[in-house]
């Protein structure tokens, strides 16, 4: 059972191995803070939708399973959006359009279809949690690398996301490599991470 | 046929449950979201008002525009500045900007308070360097450089830049011509506009 949880972190990492959800991965990781925020939203939506999909799998006719899965996912995404707007307005502003876009994040529908609709509730919850954490780790690492190189700073929140603060990592003399927070920097960072993962797994 | 109805009813039940759940969450979060928006507005007004404005008074013009008048003294004789919201149609959303004016209707400062423009392009309207260049500009200078003004448009986001600039300009024209606002003779206090970035 524990394997269902750990597989998403490295061995079947949604971003680095399955190459799912690349759009938000590339788009929001201009700061570490955004990466964690997006990641946590995805952990919540993915775990909840996996649980619900697993619970209702017997009552869902296979012909209309996709619209029903999407309804479940969209409901949780909207909840996340409303709660974020109410309690972490700064983050909600930063992530803007990417939160509603979680609905079409293929990781979530992918796990509902490939795993939760065929497995038990606990296994599905662990799968969702593990995949979500794997996704978050990649986003956090990418955000950290891109922000430090691209802006010379590191933005984190304490606790977790509530009070964002920025550390000036490389000092004022640093001339930021703007490329890193622009789209090419996202592709470069993602490519390097995929390469590193390959090195790790081949051993 | 029977099958279609059955599937439709099942889908409807799922959608109904989801809708009810969302309705409940909405009623719980709506007051809090409204409160955040109100606080943010207050904060934005404070940020764009000239620093010598101490007493604020809200005025609604006959066309519905809400203008906050800032006075330098408690007796409300000396107008220190104005703040009002400008709305422009951008690339993919309405861009709302809080604009602070000096008594002579030059811009004191602006703050983009909400937009849903293209991430990475139009969203840069919220960047400090873009907003800073408005400080000290007169109405005639309020055009993006492509249109012959003094506002440097954001690379790749001319439409968003124009949305902000033109809405600010329109607001400035409206307020400066309005006869409903309390006004005082132009002051000598000047805003330092020499730090405007040129790139």
- The secondary structure of A111-165, three-state, reads HHHHHHCCCCHHHHHHHHHHHHHHHHHHHHHHHHHHHHHHHCCEEEECCECCCEE
Concatenated DSSP letters of B101-131: E-TTS-EEEEEEEE----TTTGGGGGSHHHH
Interface of B with A in 29-68 (CB under 8 A): 29, 32-33, 36, 40
The shortest C-alpha distance from B4 to chain A (Å) reads 10
Contacts of A196 (CB under 8 A, 6+ apart): none
Domain residue ranges in chain B? 51-177
pLDDT (tens digit per residue) in A161-171:
667 777 888 87
Find the angle CA(A99)-CA(A101)-CA(A107) to the nearest 5 degrees.
Answer: 105
Global ipTM: 0.73
pLDDT (tens digit per residue) in A38-81:
898 899 899 999 999 999 988 888 889 999 999 999 999 999 88
Distance CA B80, CA B44 (A): 16
Q: Which of B70, B66, B42 lies closest to B55, judged by CA?
A: B70
User: Which residue in A63, A78, A86 has the most chain B C-beta atoms within 10 A of its own C-beta, making it the best mutation to test that interface?
Assistant: A86
**How many separate domains does chain A show?**
1
Q: Quick one: tokens of B136? A: 């000290």
* Structural domain that includes position A44: 2-202
8 Å CB contact between A165 and A50: no
Residues of chain B neighbouring A98 (CB-CB closer than 8 A): 119
Contacts of A141 (CB under 8 A, 6+ apart): A35, A193
A71: nearest CB among B14, B119, B123: B14
Helix or strand or coil: residue B86? strand
A64: nearest CB among B11, B21, B25: B11
Q: Are strands B66-71 and B79-89 parallel, antiparallel or unpaired?
A: antiparallel
Q: Quick one: tokens of A195? A: 């390469």
**pLDDT for the residue numbered A94:** 66
Could you tell me where the DSSP H helices lie in B49-103? Answer: none
**pLDDT for the residue numbered B185:** 52
User: Which residue in A45, A79, A182, A187 has the most chain B C-beta atoms within 10 A of its own C-beta, making it the best mutation to test that interface?
Assistant: A79
**pLDDT for the residue numbered B62:** 85
Alpha carbon of residue B116 to chain centroid:
13
pLDDT per residue as tens, chain B (199 positions):
778 899 999 999 999 999 999 999 999 999 999 998 888 888 889 889 988 888 888 888 888 888 889 888 888 888 889 999 999 998 888 899 999 999 888 999 999 988 877 656 777 888 888 999 999 889 888 999 888 888 888 887 889 999 999 999 999 999 888 888 887 654 444 444 444 454 5
Distance CA A147, CA A174 (A): 13
Alpha carbon of residue A138 to chain centroid:
8
Confidence of residue A111 (pLDDT cuts 50, 70, 90): very high
């Amino acid at each position: 059972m524990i394997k269902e949880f750990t597989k998403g972190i490295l061995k079947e990492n949604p971003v680095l191995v399955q190459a799912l959800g690349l759009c938000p991965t590339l788009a929001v990781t201009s700061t570490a803070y955004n990466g964690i925020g997006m990641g946590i939203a995805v952990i919540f939506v993915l775990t909840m939708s996996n649980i619900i999909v697993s619970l209702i799998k017997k009552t869902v006719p296979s012909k209309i399973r996709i619209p029903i899965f999407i309804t479940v996912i969209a409901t949780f995404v909207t909840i996340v959006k409303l709660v974020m707007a109410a309690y972490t307005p700064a983050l909600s502003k930063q992530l803007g359009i990417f939160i509603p876009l979680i609905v079409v994040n293929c990781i979530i529908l992918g796990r509902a279809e490939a795993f939760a609709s065929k497995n038990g509730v606990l296994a599905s919850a662990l799968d969702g949690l593990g995949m979500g954490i794997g996704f978050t780790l990649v986003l956090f690492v990418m955000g950290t690398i891109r922000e430090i190189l691209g802006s010379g700073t590191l933005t984190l929140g304490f606790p977790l996301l509530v009070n964002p603060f920025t550390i000036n990592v490389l000092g004022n003399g640093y001339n930021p490599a703007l490329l890193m927070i622009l789209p090419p920097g996202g592709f470069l960072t993602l490519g390097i991470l995929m390469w590193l993962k390959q090195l790790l797994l081949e051993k | 046929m029977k099958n279609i109805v059955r599937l439709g009813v099942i889908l409807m039940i799922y959608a109904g449950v989801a809708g009810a759940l969302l309705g409940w969450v909405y009623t719980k979060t709506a007051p809090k979201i409204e409160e955040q928006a109100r606080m943010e507005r207050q904060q934005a007004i404070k940020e764009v008002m000239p620093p010598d404005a101490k007493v604020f008074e809200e005025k609604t013009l006959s066309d519905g525009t809400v203008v906050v008048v800032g006075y330098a003294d408690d007796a409300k004789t000396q107008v220190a500045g104005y703040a009002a919201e400008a709305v422009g149609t951008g690339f993919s959303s309405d861009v709302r900007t809080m604009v602070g004016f000096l008594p002579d209707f030059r811009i004191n400062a602006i703050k983009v308070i909400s937009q849903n423009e293209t991430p990475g392009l139009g969203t840069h309207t919220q960047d400090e360097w873009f907003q800073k260049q408005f400080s000290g500009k007169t109405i005639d200078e309020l055009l993006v450089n492509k249109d012959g003004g003094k506002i440097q448009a954001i690379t790749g986001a001319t439409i968003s830049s124009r949305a902000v600039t033109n809405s600010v300009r329109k607001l400035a024209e409206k307020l400066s011509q309005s006869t409903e606002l309390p006004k005082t003779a132009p002051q000598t206090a000047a805003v330092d506009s020499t730090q405007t970035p040129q790139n």
